[in-house]
Chain A
Amino acid sequence: MWKAFKDRETGRFRSNSFANRFKSRRILSLQLSNRKDFVSPHRGSVNSLQVDLTEGRYLLSGAADGSAAVFDVKRATDYEASGLIAKHKCIFTVRKQHENGHKYAISSAIWYPIDTGMFITGSFDHYVKVWDTNTSQVVVDFKMPGKVYRTAMSSMAMSHTLIAAGTDDVQVRLCDIASGAFSHTLSGHRDGVMSVEWSTSSEWVLYTGGCDGAIRFWDIRRAGCFRVLDNSQTQLGVRPPILKRPAVSSKFFSAAKSSLGDQNWLKTLQSKHTGSQSVKGSSSEKPSVEKSRQKRIHPGMLSTLDRATAHYGVVTGLKATNDGMYLLSAGSYSRIRLWDIESGRNTLVNFETGRIQTDRAIQLDTSDDPALVFVPCMKTVKGFGMWSGRTTLMLRGHYESVNTCCFNSNDQELYTSGADRQIIVWSPGGSVEDEMAQGEVAEDKDNWSD
């Protein structure tokens, strides 16, 4: 560690990579935090967690008892055991009793991505409500045709303030906060929509995953969906990066690269040229033909392509990686799939999941470096290597099934919550302060009376 410091000082390391190395070490040592407790005000299963995107400081939680709460992640409200345990009580909660509180369970609670002045909750009582954080009053509400499973706002959005809401209705609606009305109704799914995710690379692109097993890509500037993911369309591993950086690629994906054909390589290059609309169809077809056809078929799409399924069953969770290149989906039969957004192909990474809940939406999260996927697997949370699919972290602590994971990349902390009402903090273990604080209470040692 000290060597690394020295290297950074002498300039052998870039400070960036130094920080990354440090962070990755911390991430890999995630464990149940004994020093940080969230005092959960919820009386039901906590369905949604999100740390705000601006400061990374406020944690918003939505629970099945129709309550939503905001916690300060950084500053504890009080301490126990002579400062050993920091208790974080919620800053405020919105309950069922609130004059415009949700009647039924809140399935999704998200922050307004620009600041923490607003947050949006979606509930099983068919409403999506926009709250003012400071007054904890509803500013706008949208009546949806069915139970709201998931809401999402684009973190990239500069020109719109749309809430994408997936409900048990087949249509995905986009609610415009600015006007207080639905701006889009996206139809295409044949069943309810469990998961909604905005692209992290384009503010116009929306991914939705439905109970019919389909994952659809939408460009909200145009009518209809432009892609349906098909799990039989595969590519092995990751695309090689466009800029050759052998150090990086060999580090992560040496296996993938070796098996990758030249053709694939070419294809991705070509798809880059064609713009945001990427290639569709089998790899055996000629790119030029495909391109022309796709342009033609897009508004309606061929019915054969339209029927493709990403999961056999329900798509319960979607998560786009932060670089905007890959999409993770969780679905029935305890499958996690990693999709190449550009090519729309299944990368065939086999995640060693145990069982995954299928009856309700789950929330995945990822960390960048090391590339890990945090997946709630029943009572445990597992961290998989994104490219190997191996279980690198196994976090056990919940007593009932876990619903959400939320990774706070600022502090390298993971927040999880589940049906046991708890919000548990997983923090990097073995830090110096842990041992220092241990000295104050210092009771945990062997005590052999005889």
Chain B
Amino acid sequence: MEGRDDGGGKVIGLIEKATKSTAQEVDPRLLKAIKSIVRYSDSEVRLSSQTLMELMRHNHSQVRYLTLFIIDELFMRSKLFRTLIIENLDQLLSLSIGFRSNLPLPAPPAVATTLRSKAIEFLEKWNLSFGFHYKELRLGFDYLKNTLKLKFPDLQANAARIQRERQEREMKTKEILRNKFDSLRVSFGLFKYEIEVTIKEIKECMEIVQWRGDDGVPLAILDEEDFEEIRCSHLRQIRLDSLKQSEKVEETGENRIVFDVLREQCKLLVTKHLISVQEGISLLIRVDVSDNRTRDSMLKDLIDIRNNILAAKKKWEEAGFTMSRMTDIHGNEETNEEEEDIWEEDDGKVKTDSVKNVAHVMRTQQSENSSLPSSGEAKKSTSEARSNKVSNTKKVGSSGNSLRDKLISEAPVMNWGSQLTNWESTTEVRANYRGLEIESHWGRVDQDAIIPADKIAELNLQATVYREERTETPPCRASLKKGGLCQRRDLRVCPFHGPIVPRDDEGNTIIQESPLDESENQTSSTSGTNQDVSMDETTSDSDPNQLARQIAKEALKNIREKDKEVVRKRAKLVKVKVKEHNHEVLRGAAIASTSRSNAMDDEFDRVFAEKKNKKQTFSTRRKKTTAKDRISQRLFSNRVKGTNPQQLAQGNDEKCRDTSANQW
């Protein structure tokens, strides 16, 4: 051995120990120990390389195998070790690969083969990483590969091959896209022309169909007038519906041909042209051509065409031209919002009405979480307009505000069911309400048999099962010394921070103040009217409510913008009040309740998420989440339990609810 310094030779023992096992791998702990020893001392590196080379001469393949592992580990790490090993690379190779006929690998043969394959693999790896620096490695690799024709795993070549294949594939797809693009460019004019013709035909057909002079009375005006007179919202609804229907065109014998043509054209437009246009757009987006300008212009054209098609589609859907036989019906969402104004659209440009605009803006805001000044402005204006309108239309309810409020707050929440159709009706029901002639061999059938009203009421008695309300215990949110807020969730008293009080983001308690303000009044009033309506006839519809709610919300938001501090404090107070009130109501109402369905759960989650989003969007203006939010969340969850399936169906309107959701 050579001169060893500080405690040298430890590595020899370790290496010998490591190579004595019969395992397939070197014990990682030993390996680590070897590495850590070798790392800090050059003499140990020398020693280890010597020892390892000696061990490689050991007449047993297992020992050589494990030794080779250690060599590889050190080889990949230490430069000195590399130079030392490479000095004897030919020896190492002949001992590990056994390519010299006079020096075959020792027994056992199974290990010998793995040793050989491993050695070949290692050699390739070494050559890849360090071949540039060591000619010896290159020579050895080259010799084994090209002269002895040993089979190397050929990692690099494989990777290169895969890479090449991928490139070829990409090239091929590019080529295909380019070809498509070329063909599209050739046929573009014709294509465009066809679509234009179709759209034109549709337009003409529509004109023919709608020609019979409609009254020209815009629905909105009628609405406003009617609201004054028609107290019963049911009647109003009927009126609305009929107005709506009058807009739609009936298919009659005389215009059947036109309808057929129209239907056909629409079908053509939707099933063929729209799809091909969309394909064309995606193609143009993906294709990579030198001629960018034509591509862009074509893309522009295509998008225009698509807009045209969509506009045309919208138009015929508005005209009530539902195509039951058609493949896709997009208009579902639109038809939900029945109180939408009818608007005429000029070519291509989709003009949405204010409601839609607001909704749109709000949606975008939710997604973007940024309040652009322009959109914010627009929203403000629209919401103001709305609130005006609401105040105009809903003057009726303003007088009975307080009474209604009280009533509403007391009203129980019912599950939706058939019994709601004849809620509190005192009419008697005929037993044979279908009017069938029923013969009974048991005797005469009383055709005029009547079931008395109280009996009906008895039959419709609604049993509710009490359900434990799912409440979310708010976190303590007291500020901690180390920063952050206390996240403990205790019901009343946090063991560390005392009673749980609403706190702001810094963890300071929020002092509560009392008086209401007009915004709150307004909301409560609007919601009061809404509730009035919905109380009367929950079954018929509650769309006006939604509108009102939305408007109310907008208004609320505007005012908040002006003086958020006041609003927040007051609102909070009101909420607290309302909460107490609600609890009372709930307690009263919850006799029993049925188990909650999954759908309801989902609904709740969705609404909750939406609400969250909204909070985020507002957070630019309102930095602090107050107790109000939490309370409203909580209340909302309560409310959702009670929401009826009808509301569920109006899935996209949830966002409108939550402003006044915390009241009964």
Contacts and interface: CB of A to CB of B under 8 A. Distances in A.
Interface string A1-44: 00000000000000000000000000000001110010000000
A396 B90 contact: yes
Contacts of A138: none
Contact of A441 (B82, B87, B132): B132
A38 to B, nearest CB: 11
Interface string B132-161: 111110111011001100000000000000
A33 B90 contact: no
Residue with the greatest number of chain A CB neighbours at <10 A, chosen from B76, B134, B135: B135
B133 A448 contact: no
**Interface size for chain B: under 10, 10 to 19, 20 to 34, or 35 or more residues?**
20 to 34
Contact of B139 (A80, A422, A441, A450): A422
A450 B135 contact: no
Contacts, number: 62
B143 A444 contact: no
B330 interface: no
Contacts of A445: 79
A85 to B, nearest CB: 6
Interface residues of A, number: 27
Contact of A399 (B35, B132, B139): B139
A183 B318 CA distance: 114
A34 B135 contact: yes
Interface string A210-244: 00000000000000000000000000000000000
A449 B132 contact: no
Q: List 6 tightest A-B contacts by C-beta distance, closest first.
A: A444-B133, A81-B132, A399-B143, A34-B135, A32-B135, A447-B77
Given A34-B134, A399-B90, 5 more contacts: A85-B132, A397-B139, A422-B142, A443-B132, A450-B32
Contacts of A422: 139, 142-143
Given A34-B134, A81-B132, A443-B132, A399 B140 contact: yes
A34 B77 contact: no
B39 interface: yes
Given A421-B147, A445-B79, A34 B139 contact: no
Contact of A448 (B77, B82, B134, B136): B77
B129 interface: yes
A31 B559 CA distance: 88
Interface in A404-421: 420-421
A446 B41 CA distance: 13
Contact of A420 (B82, B133, B147): B147
A80 B78 CA distance: 24
Contacts of A118: none
A80 to B, nearest CB: 7
B618 interface: no
A442 B142 CA distance: 23
B416 interface: no
Contact of B136 (A32, A421, A443): A32
Contacts of A398: 139
A136 to B, nearest CB: 25
Given A379-B90, A424-B139, A446-B79, A399 B130 contact: no
Contacts of B76: 447
A389 B89 CA distance: 27
B129 A443 contact: yes
A295 to B, nearest CB: 55
Nearest to A35: B135
Contacts of B35: 448, 450
Interface in B221-261: none
Contact of B133 (A34, A449, A450): A34
A420 B134 contact: no
A397 B82 CA distance: 16
Interface string A426-450: 0000000000000001011111111
Contacts of B133: 34, 441, 443-444
A114 interface: no
Interface in B49-95: 76-80, 82, 87, 90
B101 to A, nearest CB: 12
A33 B135 contact: yes
A444 B147 contact: no
Contacts of B32: 450
A449 B39 CA distance: 10
Contacts of B132: 34, 80-81, 84-85, 441, 443-444
A396 B77 CA distance: 24
B49 to A, nearest CB: 14
Contacts of B80: 446
A446 B38 CA distance: 12
A379 B132 CA distance: 23
Contacts of B139: 397-399, 422, 424
A396 to B, nearest CB: 7
A107 to B, nearest CB: 20
Nearest to B139: A397
Contacts of A420: 143, 147
A396 B82 CA distance: 16
Interface string B97-140: 00000000000000000000000000000000110111110111
Residue with the greatest number of chain A CB neighbours at <10 A, chosen from B76, B87, B139: B139
Contacts of A34: 132-135
A276 B287 CA distance: 88
A441 B134 CA distance: 13
A397 B136 contact: yes
Contacts of A449: 77
B366 to A, nearest CB: 47
A33 B142 CA distance: 16
